[in-house]
Structure 1
Amino acid sequence: LTLADAPLMSALAVLPRFAREARLAILAVIGVAVYFPALAAGLPLTGATPNGLLGRAARTLRLAR
């Protein structure tokens, strides 16, 4: 987002009104577009997928009995 902010600020400088609001909205969309794919890619790599967590919890509960 930091890398996109400066070019976005100069591109939106021609807007007479709502330039800051438009910049904020565009940065939010970019943030969502980067965050969720990174989350989806990172969870399986770390083994923190819900299925992995549920399976691990079930194995732990079976061992505790």
Structure 2
Amino acid sequence: MAIVINLDVVMAQRKMGLTELSQKVGITQANLSILKNNKAKAIRFSTLDEICKVLQCQPGDILQFVED
């Protein structure tokens, strides 16, 4: 089982860069980069909530289950 984070895809669709998103969400670029590059082991619901608000998307647009 694998959860894939498609944050980079959603950011590209919204034409939003890492710096702008990190400022609007209120988390560091380093932590956002970890999410964007599928290196994260967990994400707080509050962080996911803010990302979805800023990008005007649903959690399912960012998180995807891919079977091994």
Shorter-chain TM-score tier: under 0.3
Higher relative CO (Cα under 8 Å, sequence separation at least 6) belongs to: 2
TM-score (normalizing by structure 1): 0.27
Relative to its length, the structure with more helix (as a share) is: 1
TM-score (normalizing by structure 2): 0.26
Relative to its length, the structure with more strand (as a share) is: 2
